[in-house]
Structures are given as structure tokens and as C-alpha cells.
Structure 1
Amino acid sequence: MSNRYQVDPDHVIGDEAQLRALFEPTHALALRKCQSQLGVHAQAFIRRAPFLCIGTQNPEGKADVSPRGDPAGFVQILDPQTIAIPDRPGNNRLDTLSNIIANPAVGLLFIIPGFDDTLRLNGRAQLSTDPALLQRMAVDGKVPKLAIVVVVDEVFLHCAKAFRRSHLWDPDYLQDRREMPSLMKFILDETSGAPNDADEMRKLDDDLEQAYQRTMY
């Protein structure tokens, strides 16, 4: 018998009418704030943001979300309705990029350290290898292989409640990374098994850190 949690069908929300009956009507300001292009403040927010998450889906509807980060200003604003995101070296799973080819709908969340507000952007993406565009995104002379070009469908500022509830930027709530295993040990423990020898494990961690330094751009 499976120990997996099963949702009680008597308590499943099955349609939008049931869902909306649980909540107050949408606030008028929440409706008005949604725009179809990047205004002056949205553009300023994007230029300040060193980090974003991009959500995509494959043709079967399987969802994925991926982080993207660089120095502030790394996202290029091409016009009030178009942005471009450089694709830096990663693990070459290519989940986001493959999904975009199959389904261009994307959702972006821009985050600025110290800001409790976030900027949400939904749109349609394409992958571009335009040399002139990629050259604008070069770091230390290294040009990305491609850029994710997104046409804006809607953009709006998201309220601060989630970040305030989580105390994300509050130094008193910072957690000690050493309380959980390293990335290498995490992966090995869940797959082939991590080595028991501490020196061997430390070497694997050091090798990963050196790989980060070599392949950042």
C-alpha cells in the first residue's frame, strides 16, 4: 500500500467558481497595475535586477523554473515591449531553451537584493543568435551563445508580502549553509552514493568550486 499523500476528493477545488468563492474580489488596484509594456519604473526595476527566475512549459505541460543571474543591468531592454536575457554557461540540460522552442509562453520574476517588491513579466520568447545583440551582452570578452528575447504581454509589480513573511533579506534569519550537505554530496547521496572518506569528499567539492570559476562565463 502506497504511503503517498492523497488529496481528499471532497476537499479538491475543481473549478474557478469554487476557487473565487473562497476569496474577496480582486482589488481594483491589482487590476489597474497590469500593463502591456514596460513603463519608466518597470524599466528602472529591470536595470537594477541582478537576478530573475524564468518559468517555462514543455508541450505536455510539464513546468520548469530556472534562475538567471548576472551583474545588475544584464537584461537588455530593446524597446518598451521587448527584452533580451543572455544565456550563460550552465549544466547543458537546456530545459528552459528546449521548452521555449516548443512553447514560447514564459513567466519572469525579477528580484533586487533588499527589495521586498518583485516585478512579474509574462510574455512570448524566442531564441536569438544575432551577433550584434550578443555582443552587447559580452562579459570579459566572452559572448553568450544565444539570447532569450521576450516580447511583453503583461508586466506588473508584485506586492511585498511573500518576502516580508519569509524575512528573506533579514540578517537575523540567515541560515548556516553548513547545516546541509554540499551540492556534490547531495547529488551523490541521492544517486550513486557519496564517498565515506572526508578528504575525498572535500576534493570533489573543491573540484566543483574550481569548475565554477573556470566556466562562469
Structure 2
Amino acid sequence: MKTVQDIDALEALYDTASGAALTKVVHRLTPQYAKWINTSRFVVLTTVGPEGTDGSPRGDIDPVVRIVDDNTLMLPDWRGNNRIDSLRNIVRDGRVSLMFMVPGSSNVIRVNGTAVLTDDETVTSTFEQKTMHPKSVIVITVGEAYFQCAKAIMRSELWTGDAVAGLPTAGELIKEQQAEFDAKGYDDAYPDYAKDRMW
């Protein structure tokens, strides 16, 4: 298989980026970008560390991040599986990317920047939900933000396609690696687990 070995060869494959593709990039959250992000309840957080990269979906019942000012976002780390892969990466390498999505919208907002982690109770306590608060909060400094072309979501019919039947369940995915695992019991309990332990 032939591979692309340098930037000149890569750029030769593509046309020059359009003016709009370049001018859409902002280096702070403008009112319109802030309005869009403040509507999003779902984001994919991407980090990098010594072991490689990590992409982590994050969701909330409210806006998934808090906009502190036009250069700062806060993302609470709600209760999960305790792998803390993203958090380990941030502590060692602050580079992050975020991809915000809103159901029904074909646009995606991307933010690149740097992050630190805080467990300061004066911060974590401000995110209280159902008497619980996150153990830590990711504080992101915006380096750049821009919207992603809608073609990918339109092409995939992400919001308009029918639900796909026959996908493996979470329990079945675990059972594939652990033969004695009770996949059905896990899947049957999962709705209550998600409802009771989301924080």
C-alpha cells in the first residue's frame, strides 16, 4: 500500500482551502459561537498522553460545559467508570480538542485549546446536581473555535436515519471478552444504573 509521506504530497492531493474555511476560525468565543455551545448537551473530549490519544463522550442534562468567559470553559467530570483516561492525559499533557453536537443540527462546533484539572471545592460545588457534585472539573482555555462543515452529518444521515437493529449490546460486548459475564442481567439493569448513578 502506498502511503503519503510528506506535507507537499498531501497538499498536492487537495484543492486550496476556501476563504470561508479559513475565516470561520475564531480565537475566542464570539456571541454566536457561545450561543451554539451553550445549547449543546453533548461533546466529545479528545486528549493526548504518553500512551496515545483518547476520545471520551461527555453529556449532561444541562449545557455540557459552562462558559466562564470568551476564553474559558468548564467541563464537570461526572461519575463514570473510573478509568479516568482523559483526566490522566490532561494532568500530563494539557492539549485538548472538543467537538460539540446538538441533535437535529448538521453543524458541529470544534474547540482546540489547553486544559487543567481542578478539584477545588469552591469550583466543584458550583456544579451540584441532585445533591452530588463532580470530583473534578476540567478548565479549558480556548485556543481556537470553528464550525465543521455539515456534509459529514448530512452524508451519514445521523439525525434522520432509522435506528439500526441487531447492534451488540453493552453486555454482549463485555461478554465477548469475559465468557462468564451475565450480559442479559447487565443490560436489563443498565437503564436503572444510568438513572441512579449518572452523577
1:105 shift after superposition: 0.2
Matched with 1:186 is: 173
Residue aligning to 2:124 = 134
Please give the residue correspondences for 1:94-109 in structure 2 after superposition, counting only pairs within 5 Å: 94-109=84-99
Where does structure 1 lack aligned partners over 5 or more consecutive residues? Answer: 1-7
State the shift of 1:13 in Å: 0.3
CA distance in 1, matches of 2:143, 2:26: 8
Partner of 1:205: helix, strand, or coil?
A: helix
Q: Deviations over 1:37-79 (max 9, x none)?
A: 000011101110010001111125x111000001242311111
2:79 aligned with 1:89, yes or no?
yes
Which of 163, 167, 178 is 1:175 aligned to?
163
Number of the residue aligned with 1:110: 100
1:14-29 matches, cutoff 5 A: 14-29=5-20
Secondary structure of 2:105's partner? coil
Q: Which residue of 1 aligns with 2:189?
A: 207
Distance 1:54 1:201, change over 3 A: closer
Preserved contact between residue 74 and residue 137 of structure 1 (Cα < 8 Å): no
Identity %: 32
The one-letter code sitting in structure 2 at the alignment partner of 1:73 is P
- Could you report, residue by residue, the CA deviation over 1:94-142 in whole angstroms, capped at 9, with x for unpaired residues? 1000000111000100001111001000000000122232222111121
The answer to whether 1:74 aligns with 2:72 is: no
TM-score by length of 2: 0.94
Indicate the structure (1 or 2) with the bigger Cα radius of gyration: 1
- 2:33 matched to 1:42? yes
Partner SS for 1:204 = helix
Q: Give structure 1 regions of 4+ aligned residues with deviation exceeding 6 angstroms.
A: none
Give the letter aligned to residue 184 of structure 2: R
Secondary structure of 1:48's aligned partner: coil
| Matched residues, number | 199
**RMSD, aligned α-carbons:** 1.5
Name which of structure 1's ranges 204-213 and 117-126 shifts more when overlaid on structure 2.
204-213
Supply the distance in 1 between the matched residues of 2:121 and 2:64 (Cα, whole angstroms).
Answer: 16
TM-score by length of 1: 0.87
The whole-number CA distance in structure 1 between the counterparts of 2:102 and 2:145 is: 16
